[in-house]
Amino acid sequence: MSLTTDDVNKIAHLARLGVDIQDVDTYAHDLSGILDLVTQMSQLNTEGVAPMAHPMEQSQRLRPDRVTETNMREKFQAIAPQVEAGLYLVPKVIE
Amino acid sequence: MNNKTIAELARGLRAGEFSSVELTQGYLERIRQFSVLNAYITVTAEQALAQAEAADKRLAAGTADLLTGIPVAQKDIFCTDGVKTSCGSKMLDNFISPYNATVVEKLNAAGAVMLGKSNMDEFAMGSSNETSFYGSVQNPWNVSCVPGGSSGGSAAAVAAGLTAGATGTDTGGSIRQPAAFCGITGLKPTYGRVSRYGMIAYASSLDQGGPMTRTAEDAAIMLQAMAGFDEKDSTSVDRPVPDYSSGLNQPLSGLKIGLPKEFFGEGLNGEIATVIETAVNEYRKLGAEVKEVSMPNLKHAIPAYYVIAPAECSANLSRFDGVRFGYRCDNPADLSDLYTRSRGETFGKEVKRRILIGTYALSAGYYDAYYLKAQKVRRLISDDFKSALAEVDVLMGPVSPTVAFGLGEKTGDPIQMYLSDIYTIAVNLAGLPAMSIPAGFVDGKPVGLQIIGNYFAEDRLLNVAHRYQMNTDWHKQVPKGFE
């Protein structure tokens, strides 16, 4: 399994992850090696095996739909990069 | 004082030999003295002394818990209200957590004194502590070697006497491998036993917090305070917590030990194999029966892990986007640029590799071939453990194929680093509890014996570890210069 630099750039875009141009070749090499490692699983016959998501086969618990948290907006926003009037600010999205 | 166990310190506090404030001052002084080890990212001296004063009052009033007044370190993956929680990353270098993790709440409630936040691999991704934004940690047994990872700061701090106990987290061996490399006791509980609330998520179906201490007796004391159902963690298991200390002394006659033959194959250092055999013989003397068992699918654990863990990490780490907390890049051109550069300018190479692999494995057209396949392999590995543990009470083997390796020795080759977790990773895939306890030395560096038990059999594991420690003194060894 071999990934090209184009593949790396495409995956990095999907992950919204900046990767330095000079590092793309190294990532292509490293990721290809990791994929070679993980594709060794394909040697194993898993026909009819149920996928395992949780060690105890536990499913998500439900709880009554009532308010349990107090409003901590000010505390949470105190550590935000940029806020105004109780809102988180990001670059303009809609013209 | 610095090399006493939690149990000994608790007795000393009650006998009035020293106060928690004196104890805390002593540890804070040692942390300063040995700051070159880089075991801590943040030292919380002021808060620690305030907690120690409160603990002394509780001790005087007779309302103290076993952990009241005992200094501990929190791995910097656990959120601590009002204290920087970096997770070893530049992304969270400015993050002052607005709340406490459940583990922190519980240890605070027990009266433990937090000395600070211990160093770790970035977002717990690493086996050597070398991916930390704050630099690597030195192994007290050999300062040119790694302490292991990802809970490397916690392990080094306990081994060097810079704390009495510490918390760690284990996704693929991150408690057991550093415990082995630093010659201490580490316990990874059953998945769901200790709350993950406020424990920054790496791979949610594998992550589990646990204690790192000098002895099994201390691990029992810490786990008692950490374990339990938490409605804030949707994967927490609602099941009573037994008394972990009461069964420690039970005799081991009739204990059935299984040795998975795949743990002793190619790649294992021969001298480590000898140390493990010697430890198993010690158990024979204590009355245990030993038999060989087989785990034919073990070799597929690393491939399955390096799909499941990166896939879950790529989803979990998408929350770090520069919008609500953490790092934000300067002058973003638009929203996409804000996300891409905030993440690109802060995440280290190992974190980026895992996000990229996970994103690829989950991308359209590849899900069945990677993630679904890995979950099926996971089932087969878990079934291997189930059949083995139907025949025996515990499994034993090495924690790691080598002792602590040199700083920088494996950083250039991620795959070599991944392969060093062969004996620990399968346990996380199955969700079982497991321990590492000191069992000897090779080239002057500690070797860990791994003990794996059935689901929720932490009490049995602690008993098996404790009886060994009553009859051997490997856990009492202290690295030169740290006496």
pLDDT in tens, B435-444: 999 999 999 9
ipTM: 0.96
Q: What burial letters (b/e) apply to B254-276, b meaning 16+ CB within 10 Å?
A: ebebbbbebbbeeebbeebbebb
Residues A65, A68, A70, A71, Cα dihedral to 10°: -20
Residue B1 has pLDDT above 90, yes or no: no
Q: Are B6 and B222 in contact (CB under 8 A)?
A: yes
- Calpha distance B166→B175 (Å, rounded): 10
Structural domain boundaries enclosing A20: 5-43
Instruction: Tell which residue, B105, B315, B123, has the closest CA to residue B230.
Output: B105
Sequence-distant (6+) residues with CB within 8 A of B405 are B128, B145, B146, B420
The predicted pLDDT at position B22 comes to 98
Q: How far apart are the first and last CA of chain A?
A: 43
Catalytic residue ranges of B: 75, 150, 174
CB contacts under 8 A, A 46-85 vs B, are: 46, 49-56, 58, 60-61, 63, 72, 75-76, 78-82
pLDDT given at position A95: 72
Looking at the predicted structure, is the pLDDT value of residue B178 above 90? Answer: yes
Mutate which of A52, A61, A75, A84 to disrupt the B interface (most B C-beta within 10 Å)? A52
Rounded Cα–Cα distance for residues B93 and B80 (Å): 14
**H-helix or E-strand containing B315?**
helix B301-316
Is residue B100 over pLDDT 90? yes
pLDDT at position B266 is 85
CB of A15 within 8 Å of a chain B CB? The answer is yes
> Mean of the pLDDT values across residues B64-69?
97
**Is residue A82 one of the residues assigned to a domain?**
no
Q: CB distance B235–A58 less than 8 Å?
A: yes
pLDDT band at B107; cut points 50, 70, 90: very high
Average pLDDT over residues B1-9: 94
Burial class, B26, CB count within 10 angstroms (exposed 0-12 / middle 13-18 / buried 19+) = middle
- What pLDDT was estimated at residue B403? 97
Q: pLDDT of B109-152, one tens digit each?
A: 999 999 999 999 999 999 999 999 999 999 999 999 999 999 99
Share of chain A above pLDDT 90, in %: 79
DSSP assignment string, B316-343: HGGG-SSSSSS---SS-SSHHHHHHHHH
| DSSP secondary structure string for all residues of B161-209 | TS-SEEEEE-SSSTTHHHHHHHT-EEEEPPTTSB--TTB--SSTTT--E
What is the tens place of the pLDDT at every residue in A7-20? Answer: 999 999 999 999 99
pLDDT higher than threshold 90 for residue A93: no
pLDDT bin (cut points 50, 70, 90) of residue A63 is: confident
Amino acid at B131: T
Contact A51 B340 (CB under 8 A): no
Alpha-carbon distance of B439 to B469, in angstroms, equals 9
**Structural domain total, chain A:** 1
Sorting pLDDT into bands at 50, 70 and 90, what band is B190? very high
Tokens 């996971």 sit at which residue?
Answer: B378
Residue where the block lists tokens 């007795």: B11
- Cis preceding-peptide flag for B150 (omega within 30 of 0): yes
Q: Given this model, what pLDDT does residue A90 score? A: 95
Q: Which of B323, B344, B376 sits opposite A90 (nearest CB)?
A: B323
| pLDDT value of residue A94 | 81
Alpha carbon of B427: minimum distance to chain A alpha carbons (Å): 10
Which residues of chain B lie closer than 8 angstroms to A5, CB-CB? none
CB contact under 8 A, B343 and A82: no
d(C-alpha A4, C-alpha A31), whole Å: 10
Q: What is the pLDDT of residue A53?
A: 86
Residue B279 one-letter amino acid:
A
Confidence category of residue A57, pLDDT binned at 50, 70, 90 = confident
Nearest Cα neighbor of B216 from B186, B247, B259 is B186
Contact of B334 with chain A, judged by CB distance below 8 Å, is answered with: yes
Q: Do A38 and B306 touch (CB under 8 A)?
A: yes
CA angle in degrees (0–180, nearest 5) for B235-B239-B245: 115
Beta strands B185-188; B434-442: pairing state: antiparallel
Residue B289 has φ and ψ, to the nearest 5°, of -100, 140
Q: What CATH topology corresponds to B1-483? A: Amidase signature (AS) enzymes (3.90.1300)
Residue B172 — pLDDT band, cuts 50, 70, 90?
very high
Residue A83 lies in a domain: no
Q: What is the mean pLDDT of residues B151-156?
A: 98
pLDDT band (50, 70, 90) for residue B215: very high
Q: Does residue A22 lie within any of the structural domains?
A: yes
Which residues of A fall within a CB distance of 8 Å from B377? 41, 44, 46
Q: Does a structural domain hold residue A12?
A: yes
Query: In the predicted model, what is the mean pLDDT of residues B298-305?
Result: 96
pLDDT for B188 equals 98
Say if the Cβ atoms of A76 and B372 lie within 8 Å.
no
| The predicted structure's pLDDT at residue A62 | 87
Segment A40-62 shows an average pLDDT of: 89
Token couple for B324: 């609500």
Q: B115: left (phi > 0), else alpha (psi -120 to 50), else beta?
A: alpha
**B436-459: average pLDDT:** 98
Query: What is the C-alpha to C-alpha distance for residues B161 and A47, in angstroms, rounded to an integer?
Result: 51
Asked if residues B462 and B187 have their Cβ atoms less than 8 Å apart, the reply is yes
Q: How confident is the model at residue A59 (pLDDT cuts 50, 70, 90)?
A: confident
At B371, which amino acid appears?
Y
A93 vs chain B: nearest CA distance in angstroms?
7
Percent of residues, chain B, with pLDDT higher than 70: 100
Query: Does residue B12 belong to the interface with chain A, where contact is any CB pair within 8 Å?
Result: no
**By CA distance, what is A58's nearest residue in B?**
B235
Please give the Cα distance from A20 to B348 (Å, whole number). Answer: 12
